Amino acid sequence: MVSQTIAAEREVFVEKREWRERLRLFDPDNRLPELLHGLNSILQEHYESFLQRQLEIAKMDPALGGAIETIVGEAGRADALAQYHARFTPPLDDSFAAYTQRFGRLLVSKNASPSTGMAMVSCAYGEAMKVVLETMEGEDLARAARAIRMLTSIESDILVGSMHEALHARYLSEISQRAVEFEDSVLATVAQLSETAERLKSSSGSAGEVSRELQDTSATMAASAQQSATAMEQAKATLVHLENAVIKVQASVASTDDAAKVAGQRADAAASNADQLGDSSKRIQSIVKLIKTIAEQTQILSLNATIEAARAGQAGSGFAVVANEVKELASKTQIAAGDIKIQAEDILAAARHSVDAAEDINRRMSTIGEWTESSRNEIDSQLQNLRIVVEAIAETFLSAEHLLGGVSTIDDFAGQMTARSQEVEEDFARVEDLLARLSANVGAYSNSLRSMIAEQEIAEDHGV
């Protein structure tokens, strides 16, 4: 906006005839119209070469380079040639100054050097001086040379003035633009910082709340850790007592295993004795069977003897008595053999039952031995696990003590965090105050800069 205002004000430069006031410095007697008389007719056929020479000078400026032909264009060439006529035809009108000013602003817009503009002006009038020197002499030559020098000074002054004004306008515009950008950037940054500070302040408040909650939690954890440590100590004592009880059970199982082995051995001996008793019973049965057979034979013999005694009559009566006694004895022997057989069979049955019982006892004792062996192994394993548990509880007890110490440290740290959070909140309050001051100072600086630019423009408008 500032640059547009300056440009608009500079457009009325010609209308104010300021360039004519500058002209009086170079032509106080107003002799230039007289000095220009007849020059246009002498120089006009050389205007094309003058322009071409000026374009060659322009090409030497890196900012213009090969683009000068495009910049000038056909319309520009025609305008430039027309201005040559205006320069050397009295009286000088405003179009001459307006063209020179436009050309100066064009050079500035293309970032060309002011030296390039001065060189182009000097080149054109230098070429004109060459033509005058070749075609004129005496008083006419002196008059033409003075006119050319005066035009060179006037056009150079207008060109340099217009370029200076254009550069100054661009400078003011850039300053104004940078001031706006600076203000926008800084104020945006201040706004972001304020927002960030507000968020950090809120976060700090939240952190304070969290630290206070952490402090409360750490106190609860400390109490829990103390209870855990006490419980672990009691559990350790209980498990040690249980370990001793398991060791006693282990010893009892070992004794039971030994007793089972002894009982098994005795059962084996009883079974062996029962087997021997069975064998003896079998032998007794064989003997009884033999006795029974003998008794039966004896009874048959006594019966035959009785028959023979009966046949013998009175002579065989004594023999009959003996035969009868033998018969009765054989009968008793047979009865006794039967009883012995029954007793032997009972003994054999009892022996077999004893063998079966001993074998069953032996099997049960073997089972008990296997069970006690398995129990002993299981008890050994459980005892080992129990010892591991005792060690783990001991380590847990130590960990609980360490945890108790750590909780105490956390409690201290939480207290420190609470204090630091309060300090941070106070710091953020100070930061917000500083940001508010910075924002106000930036606004004041921007307003001051705008005022300086406006004052500079007003001063230039009044020729200060």
Give me the CATH number covering residue 156.
1.10.490.10
HSE toward the beta carbon, residue 24, CA cutoff 13 A: 4
Distance of CA 297 to CAs 321, 325, 336, 366, Å?
18, 15, 15, 53
Q: What pLDDT sits at residue 206?
A: 72
CA–CA separation, 195 and 185 (whole Å): 15
Give me 213's structure tokens: 């909650």
Whether 301 is covered by a domain: the verdict is no
Query: In sequence order, which residues have a C-beta less than 8 Å from that of residue 160 and are 6 or more positions away?
Result: 104, 114, 117, 118
Q: What pLDDT sits at residue 199?
A: 78
Whether 203 is covered by a domain: the verdict is no
pLDDT in tens, 153-168: 999 999 998 999 888 8
Of the listed ranges 55-69, 191-205, 378-392, the least confidently predicted one is: 378-392
Whether 269 is covered by a domain: the verdict is no
CB atoms within 10 A of CB 278: 18
- If we measure between CA atoms, which residue out of 425, 433, 417, 414 comes closest to residue 202? 425
pLDDT in tens, 404-424: 676 677 667 667 777 776 776
CA–CA separation, 411 and 216 (whole Å): 8
CA–CA separation, 311 and 145 (whole Å): 219
Judge whether residue 130 has pLDDT over 90.
yes
Whether 64 is covered by a domain: the verdict is yes
Query: Sign of the CA dihedral 201, 205, 210, 215?
Result: positive
pLDDT in tens, 26-41: 888 888 889 999 999 9
Whether 150 is covered by a domain: the verdict is yes
Q: What pLDDT sits at residue 44?
A: 93
- If we measure between CA atoms, which residue out of 347, 302, 349 comes closest to residue 327? 302
Whether 290 is covered by a domain: the verdict is no
Instruction: Give the total number of structural domains in the chain.
Output: 1
Residue spans of beta strands (DSSP E) within 146-190? none
Average confidence (pLDDT) over 313-328: 76
Q: What pLDDT sits at residue 146?
A: 94
Judge whether residue 378 has pLDDT over 70.
yes
Judge whether residue 330 has pLDDT over 60.
yes
CA–CA separation, 33 and 89 (whole Å): 8
Q: What pLDDT sits at residue 152?
A: 93
Give me 262's structure tokens: 């002894």
Average confidence (pLDDT) over 174-188: 80
Judge whether residue 365 has pLDDT over 50.
yes
Judge whether residue 464 has pLDDT over 50.
no
Structural domain span for residue 130 = 2-174
Mean pLDDT, the chain, rounded, equals 77
Q: What pLDDT sits at residue 2?
A: 41
Judge whether residue 110 has pLDDT over 80.
yes
With cut-offs at 50, 70 and 90, classify the pLDDT of residue 15.
Answer: very low
Whether 164 is covered by a domain: the verdict is yes
Instruction: Give 55 or 318, the one with higher predicted confidence.
Output: 55
Average confidence (pLDDT) over 48-57: 90
- If we measure between CA atoms, which residue out of 94, 105, 114, 87 comes closest to residue 33? 87
**Is the bond leading into 91 cis (omega within 30 degrees of zero)?**
yes
Give me 296's structure tokens: 């039966």
Q: How many residues does the chain have?
A: 464
Residue type, 9: E
CA geometry: angle 62, 64, 68, nearest 5 deg? 145
Most confident of 51-55, 127-131, 206-210, 310-314: 127-131
Judge whether residue 191 has pLDDT over 50.
yes
With cut-offs at 50, 70 and 90, classify the pLDDT of residue 5.
Answer: very low
With cut-offs at 50, 70 and 90, classify the pLDDT of residue 453.
Answer: confident
Whether 182 is covered by a domain: the verdict is no
Helix (H, G, I), strand (E, B) or coil at 62: coil
Instruction: Give 162 or 364, the one with higher predicted confidence.
Output: 162
